[in-house]
Structure 1
Amino acid sequence: MSSSPIAFTAAAPAGPTAGGSAAGARPKLERAYLELRHPPPDGGTSTPGPRLDKIEFQFNPKELTLAKSATWERKTARGAKTAGPAEFKGPEPSKLTLEMFFDATALQDHKVVASVEQLFACCVPTDQTHQKKKGTPPFVIFHWGGLTGFVGFVSQVQAKYTLFTAGGLPIRAVCQVTLEELAAGLPGQNPTSGALSARRVHHVVTGDTLPLLAFREYGDPAAWRAIAEANDIDDPMRLTPGRTLLLPAAEELGS
C-alpha cells in the first residue's frame, strides 16, 4: 500500500507516434486542456452535465502541484497536563495548482487577453444557472493525454501580464490556476480522489460500438456505461468514425 494518497500513473500511448509506428519513436505531443462542464441546473454539486467549453494550454505545463490534507481534532480536558488523542474528522478536498503561459508576440493580437478572460469566467456562474437563480460556475476537469484529473472547480486565478504592445495591449501572461475538488464520493472518483487517473484514448473506427470497446478493454461488454458517461454519449450503438474516446481506468469502474 502506497504511503501517499496521490499517485501518478503512467498512461498508455495515445494514438500514433510522431515519427510513425517505428519502435523507439518519440510519442505524439498531447496538449493539456481544461474541460468545462455544465453544472447541474439546480445549482448542486452532483454529476457534471454536458461539455460546456474547453481551455487549451498554449504550452504544456512544466509542473503540476497536487495537495491533499486531512482534518484531525484534539480534545483536551480542562486541567489535563497532556494533550488528548487525535480524532480523525475527515479528508479535505484535493487541490491541483498549475501554471498556464500565453504568448501572442508573433501576431500581437487579443488572444492573450481573451484566454485570461476565459479563465476568469470559470469563477462566475454560468448563464444557465444564473437565470435559474442558483448561480454555479462551470465544473472543470484537467486533461493531459491519457491523464484525467478530479471533477472540481476553479477556486483561484492569478494572471500576471509580462509583455505589452506599444499601445498597451497585453501580449504575454502567466496564470496561476487552482482547481479544487468538488466533493469526495462523486461518481467516477476513487476513495483517495485527487489522483490523476490513467485513461487510454481510443480513435473510433467503422464497426465500433461501446459494448465491443468495453469487452476489449475490460472483458465485460456491460461496462459500456462507464465509457458512455466519460464521453457524454447517449446512444451506445452509434459512434462516429474518427471520434476520440476516453477509456476510464479499470479501477474507476467499481467506484
Structure 2
Amino acid sequence: MPVTKTDTSSESLSHAELELLQPGKTPGVPGAPIGSIAFQLNPKELTMTKSASWKAEKQKKASSAPPATYQGPEAQKLSVEMFFDDTRGGGGESVVARVEKLFSACVPTEESRQGERPSAPWVRFKWGVLAGFVGYVKSVSAKYTLFSPTGTPLRAVCTVALEEIAEEPGKQNPTSGGLRPRRMHTIREGDSLAAIAYREYGNPALWRQVAEVNGIDDPMRLAPGSPVFLPAAEELAGRPARDVVRAEVARVIR
C-alpha cells in the first residue's frame, strides 16, 4: 500500500481524549469502548514515566554500591492536565459536569458491578499519533479557578494520573507460539492499516502483517467500529502461521 507524504499545514486539528473501555477479563486486554472524555483544550504538556525494579543484595563488606538484581519493569505512568473553561457559555457541558465525568472514571462500571469483580473503566490516552498504554485512572485532582457571581464554577484545572494495567504473565516470549495482543484499536472513519501501523509501530509498511494477524483480506474496506488487534512489534517480526494467529485472536476474544 503506497504511502504519500502529506502537508501537515493542511491537516485538521486533532483533539486529545481519554478513551473509556470496559474492564477486560484477560489482563492487559480491554473490553469494548464505552465512551470517552474529550479535552476541551489540548494539553500543553504531558509526563510519561517508566521505571524498573532493582533489588540491592546485602553484603558483609562495605562498598560504594552493593550489587543489584533486576526484578522487572514497573507499571508505566502518565500525568496530564485538563483545562475546562465555560466563561463564554456556548450551551455545552458545564465545567462541573466535565469534572464529575472525570471523577466517575474512578467508580466501577455498571456492567462490572453485576460480576464478581467490580472495576472502574480502563482508559487510554489518545492524541493524534499518540496512543498510550491501557491503564486506569489512579487519581483526579480538580482545582476550580474562576466562579460566576452566583458561585457556579466557570474554569477548572484537573490533574489526571494514569497507571498501566499489567498484561497477562507468561505471554512475554514471542517465540513461545502465543500471540500477546498489546492492545486493541477500534476502526474509525478515515482509518487505514498503514496509518494504524505507523501510529503503533512507527512503520507504515507493517500494515500487511497487521492485516494478516486480523485476517483482513481487503484493507481498503475497513468497517468502522470493528476491532483490530495490535500485537507487540517483536511478535510481528516472528509471528506464527496465519491459522495459529487467528486461533489465538479468537481465544483472546472469548
User: In which range does the TM-score fall when normalised by the shorter chain?
Assistant: 0.5 to 0.7
Q: Pick closer, same or farther for the CA change 1:75–1:24 going to 2, 3 Å.
A: closer
Q: Distance in 1 between matches of 2:208 and 2:99?
A: 43
Alignment partner, residue 48 of structure 2: 66
Matched, 1:97 2:79: yes
Listed as ranges, the matches of 1:1-255 within 5 Å are: 25-40=9-24, 45-77=27-59, 79-82=60-63, 84-107=66-89, 111-184=94-167, 187-189=180-182, 203=190, 218=206, 220=208, 223-226=211-214, 239-240=222-223, 251=233, 254=236
Q: Distance in 2 between matches of 1:33 and 1:168?
A: 28
Q: Distance in 1 between matches of 2:226 and 2:46?
A: 25
Q: Pick closer, same or farther for the CA change 1:130–1:144 going to 2, 3 Å.
A: same
1:17-76 per-residue CA deviation (whole Å, 9 max, x = no partner) reads xxxx8x573432100111100002x5x634101101101110000001011111111121
Q: Which amino acid aligns with 1:149?
A: G
Q: Pick closer, same or farther for the CA change 1:249–1:30 going to 2, 3 Å.
A: farther
Q: Distance in 1 between matches of 2:215 and 2:33?
A: 15
Q: CA RMSD in A?
A: 4.0
Question: Percent of counterpart pairs with the same letter?
Answer: 41
- Report the secondary structure of 1:203's partner residue: coil
Q: TM-score, normalised by structure 1?
A: 0.67
Q: Which runs of 5+ in 2 are unaligned?
A: 172-179, 198-203, 238-254
8 Å CA contact retained: 1:146, 1:201: no
1:189-221 per-residue CA deviation (whole Å, 9 max, x = no partner) reads 39xxxxxxxxx98716xxx9x8xx99x953637
Q: Which amino acid aligns with 1:115?
A: R
1:51-107 per-residue CA deviation (whole Å, 9 max, x = no partner) reads 011011100000010111111111213x43235311111111110111100011111
8 Å CA contact retained: 1:31, 1:144: yes
1:149-178 per-residue CA deviation (whole Å, 9 max, x = no partner) reads 011111011000011111111111100001
Q: Pick closer, same or farther for the CA change 1:227–1:247 going to 2, 3 Å.
A: farther
More helix by share: 2
Q: Distance in 2 between matches of 1:227 and 1:88?
A: 39
Q: Distance in 2 between matches of 1:72 and 1:24?
A: 43
